[in-house]
Amino acid sequence: MSKPSVGTKKRDFWWMCVVPLYLFTLAFILGPMIYMVAVSFATNNPSGYGFQWIFTLENYLRIQDPTYLQCFRQSFELAFSTTALTILIGYPYGYYMGRLSPKGKKLMMFLVMVPFWTSSLIRLYGWLILLQAKGVLNGLLQALGLIEDPIKMLYTYPAVLVGMVYALMPFMILAVYSSVEKMDWSLVEAARDLGASPVKAFWTVTFPLTLPGLLSGVILTFVPSMGLFFIADLLGGNKIVLVGSLIQDQLTRGSNWPFAAALAVLLMAMMTLMIVVYRKVTHVSELEGRL
């Protein structure tokens, strides 16, 4: 880095600063992670609690069972739909927010952040009140005469989807907003001056420039949506079993830790792959943005 050479003399002091971080990370993150990978190759004790240190691949082979594959498929489907919907709603939101006056930006930022910081449970609870059979939404629709009998809204797939989109929307909005904020608008003006229509200017200039933001928004929504099992749990009853709920179930009721560990390792491998791909892609588009 551009540090003056005088500073490096005192390196021994700065070295001490990172010690707590190194120790904590090694002891409580790397250690446990390695342990989990090891457990995923251990043999489960069929007679009950615990497992034995006998190497086996059975835990991974067991995932091929159609029931579990279905679970992975469902998780991916839900994560995809969630991400698609957050883009559809969140991108325009972040974009419009980035075009507001500084005062407007500040206000909207505040309005976006309050729900984001509000306990996810409080917000889920709000949806429970809204969607339940004798809930507010059904009451409203009945009062308006649009429906006669209450519609079953809670404990359905759409309810889970709504809950997920709602919980993850702020990530998308903030990611898009930050890239719109940083954008050089003179480029759009230049395109317009050269005769591009607003739509064309958007797709050829604005959109590619905000793509890194959009992609980080995608990662920020896609990755958590694979693991947010309690939304599916509360809003979907027990009909929608996601990988997260499956892991939880194996840990508690199933008490099959090696299998739960194998599921977790597989899920993590998939996530890491996605993050690596994302890093590659954004790196490229960031370079493009600079050119």
Subset of 145-204 contacting other proteins (CB under 8 A): 166, 169
Residue 254 vs residues 49, 93, 245, 274: alpha-carbon distances, Å: 9, 43, 12, 29
Q: Give yes or no for residue 30 binding other proteins (CB under 8 A).
A: yes
Q: How far is the CB of 22 from other proteins (least distance, A)?
A: 6
Q: Which of 126, 155, 196, 202 binds other proteins (CB under 8 A)?
A: 126
Residue with tokens 């996601």: 242
Q: How far is the CB of 49 from other proteins (least distance, A)?
A: 11
For other proteins, the closer of residues 1 and 194 by Cβ is: 1
Q: How far is the CB of 248 from other proteins (least distance, A)?
A: 6
For other proteins, the closer of residues 112 and 188 by Cβ is: 112
Q: Give yes or no for residue 36 binding other proteins (CB under 8 A).
A: yes
Which of the ranges 23-31, 54-62, 185-193, 197-205 carries the binding residues for other proteins, by CB under 8 A? 23-31
Nearest of 196, 202, 21 to residue 96 by alpha carbon: 202
Q: Give yes or no for residue 53 binding other proteins (CB under 8 A).
A: no
Q: Give yes or no for residue 247 binding other proteins (CB under 8 A).
A: yes
Distance from the first to the final alpha carbon of the chain: 24
Q: Beta-carbon neighbour count of residue 229 at 10 Å? A: 20
How many positions of this chain bind other proteins (CB under 8 A)?
85
- By CB under 8 A, what part of segment 70-89 binds other proteins? 89
Find residue 243's DSSP bridge partners: none
Q: Give yes or no for residue 230 binding other proteins (CB under 8 A).
A: yes
Structure-token pair, residue 204: 């050829």
Contact assessment for residue 55 and residue 202, using Cβ atoms and an 8 Å cutoff: no
E strand or H helix at 52: strand 51-52
Q: Crossing angle, helix 257-290 and helix 243-251, to 10 degrees?
A: 150
For other proteins, the closer of residues 157 and 230 by Cβ is: 230
Q: Which of 159, 261, 282, 285 binds other proteins (CB under 8 A)?
A: 261
Q: Is 195 exposed, middle or buried (0-12, 13-18, 19+ CB in 10 A)?
A: exposed
Q: Which of 4, 66, 145, 195 binds other proteins (CB under 8 A)?
A: 4
